[in-house]
Amino acid sequence: MTTLRKETPMRHGKRVGVWLAGARGSVATTVIAGAAALGGGLAPPVGCVTERPGLRELPLPAFDALVFGGHDIVGTPLPKRAEALAEAGVLPGRLLRLVAGELEAADRDVVTAAGPALDGEAAPQAVLAAELAADITAFRKRHDLETVVVVNLSSTEEVPADREEFHTLDGLRRALETEPAVLPASALYAYAAFTAGCSFVDFTPSTGARLPALRELAEQRGLPYTGRDGKTGETLVKSALAPMFVHRALRVRSWSGTNLLGGGDGATLERPEAALSKTESKTRVLDEILGDGVEGTVHIDNVPALGEWKTAWDHISFEGFLGVPMTMQFTWQGCDSALAAPLVLDLVRLMALAVEAGDSGPQEQFGFFFKDPEGSADPSLDAQYRLLVDWAGRVSSP
């Protein structure tokens, strides 16, 4: 792990681009409006981990040094999306006017990409990848940006079947040159990002950069990436609570969860294939902390009535001394976009730093932010936080 060259502190200097796949979704809109609000000193940085002691001392890009752009299949402009979020209580109404300029500016940098283009029904996928990379590069040049962090915020995909071509960069390239549907959209995005010389963050449970061929590409180019599936609710609580049972030697017998989601996320995850990738990343944390043999199912229900809000109920049955059965239950009622947005900002700032520090490949130290992080580090929340802060200490020391 290299250390950061202190002579070029980014906070006061260079501007960093943020290229969002899904740039007009609820999370992206909240990210852009929020960065404007924090950059303008209109709101305190609640939810921003990079503003905590131990991290805020790092030479991170300032909130107002972030420049936003991206792709979306939806044409509704960002100011319009922000109004809907304000109506739903996700954004404070009083902020709307104050950040309207930033939303309009970002919206001008959003390319409305038709669905078919990404699905790649006709042309070989290499053509599409080149177009995506060209969009990102144009954005970088247009704004004279030091670096661009590409973030996947688009809808959860189903898990693709494994292919031989996923395992070597050469194989992958050959397939992309000839076939129209080799990679799922999230992985094509990672490929395009690396091709354009950008770092990549997968905030969704989709494939993203999680293929050997893409890792090879990232390492070849010296680019860092991280993911996947932002840890914003039920799984966050699991990773904080499960270690308690372990440390107290209490035997967890079952851990059952039901997640009620409105919004587009609920609708996407209602499709069993998409739900599969989601529930898999949700259950991983318990298996790793508690071991196998814990009973229980995780449900994800689409409840449009809940709008932008989600509620999780978890029921934990455990045995205490001499086998006495006991129970813990919790409910978590949160606004998904408001939980996700500050973490996206954190990741963008930290990735910019990792790029500057010369880190490349999977960034295990950012596991704190994800349900399904790379690597095999301890998935307990506290251990993940210490890993992050330790990295911060190393990267900032001379």
Q: Residue 206 or residue 311: which is nearer to a second copy going by CB? A: 311
Query: Contact with a second copy (CB under 8 A): which of 143, 163, 221, 251?
Result: 251
The interface mask with a second copy, positions 372-391, x = CB under 8 A, is: --------xxxx-x------
Query: Contact with a second copy (CB under 8 A): which of 13, 248, 291, 375?
Result: 248
Instruction: Report the alpha-carbon distance of residue 256 to residue 329 in Å, rounded.
Output: 9
Q: Is 331 in the site for a second copy (CB under 8 A)?
A: yes
Q: Which stretch binds a second copy (CB under 8 A): 135-143, 144-152, 213-221, 328-336?
A: 328-336
Query: Contact with a second copy (CB under 8 A): which of 139, 189, 332, 391?
Result: 332
Q: Which stretch binds a second copy (CB under 8 A): 160-168, 178-186, 339-347, 350-358?
A: 339-347
Q: Is 272 in the site for a second copy (CB under 8 A)?
A: no
> In angstroms, what is the minimal distance from the CB of 173 to a second copy?
40
The angle formed by the CA atoms of residues 297, 265 and 306, to the nearest 5 degrees, is 85
Q: Is the peptide bond preceding residue 228 cis, with omega within 30 degrees of 0? A: yes
> In angstroms, what is the minimal distance from the CB of 211 to a second copy?
30
Pair type for strands 251-261 and 309-319: antiparallel
Q: Is 34 in the site for a second copy (CB under 8 A)?
A: yes
Q: Residue 215 or residue 349: which is nearer to a second copy going by CB? A: 349
> At residue 213, what is the residue type?
A
Q: Is 64 in the site for a second copy (CB under 8 A)?
A: no
- Would you put residue 316 in left (φ > 0), alpha (ψ -120 to 50) or beta? beta
> In angstroms, what is the minimal distance from the CB of 225 to a second copy?
23
Query: Contact with a second copy (CB under 8 A): which of 43, 62, 74, 127?
Result: 43
Instruction: Report the alpha-carbon distance of residue 308 to residue 311 in Å, rounded.
Output: 10
Number of other residues whose CB lies within 10 A of the CB of residue 285: 23
Q: Return the closest-CA partner of residue 396 out of 42, 59, 56, 15.
A: 59
Phi then psi for residue 63, to 5 deg, are -60, -35
Q: Which stretch binds a second copy (CB under 8 A): 148-156, 198-206, 335-343, 349-357?
A: 335-343
Query: Contact with a second copy (CB under 8 A): which of 133, 217, 339, 355?
Result: 339
CA 230 → CA 27, 89, 336, 371, 394, distances in Å?
11, 21, 10, 6, 24
By CB under 8 A, what part of segment 157-216 binds a second copy?
A: none
Query: Contact with a second copy (CB under 8 A): which of 73, 111, 138, 250?
Result: 250
Q: Residue 73 or residue 306: which is nearer to a second copy going by CB? A: 306
**149 three-state secondary structure:** strand
> In angstroms, what is the minimal distance from the CB of 203 to a second copy?
14
Pair type for strands 361-362 and 224-227: parallel
Instruction: Report the alpha-carbon distance of residue 311 to residue 256 in Å, rounded.
Output: 14
By CB under 8 A, what part of segment 277-296 binds a second copy?
A: 295-296
Q: Residue 112 or residue 254: which is nearer to a second copy going by CB? A: 254
The interface mask with a second copy, positions 93-132, x = CB under 8 A, is: xxx-------------------------------------
Q: Which stretch binds a second copy (CB under 8 A): 37-45, 57-65, 169-177, 348-356?
A: 37-45
Output 377-386 pairs: Cβ under 8 A, ≥24 positions apart. Answer: 379/239, 379/284, 379/285, 379/288, 379/289, 380/239, 380/240, 380/242, 380/243, 380/289, 381/236, 381/239, 381/240, 381/243, 382/240, 382/243, 384/239
Query: Contact with a second copy (CB under 8 A): which of 75, 161, 324, 398?
Result: 324
- Looking at residue 158, what DSSP letter applies? P
CA 342 → CA 134, 143, 165, distances in Å?
28, 23, 36
> In angstroms, what is the minimal distance from the CB of 236 to a second copy?
7
Query: Contact with a second copy (CB under 8 A): which of 162, 305, 376, 397?
Result: 305
Q: Is 264 in the site for a second copy (CB under 8 A)?
A: no
Q: Residue 220 or residue 327: which is nearer to a second copy going by CB? A: 327
Specify which residues 300 forms β-bridges with. 259
Query: Contact with a second copy (CB under 8 A): which of 335, 352, 357, 392?
Result: 335
- Looking at residue 89, what DSSP letter applies? T
Per-residue tokens: 202: 């997968």
Residue with tokens 């060209």: 134
> In angstroms, what is the minimal distance from the CB of 64 to a second copy?
16
Q: Return the closest-CA partner of residue 290 out of 339, 247, 352, 353.
A: 247
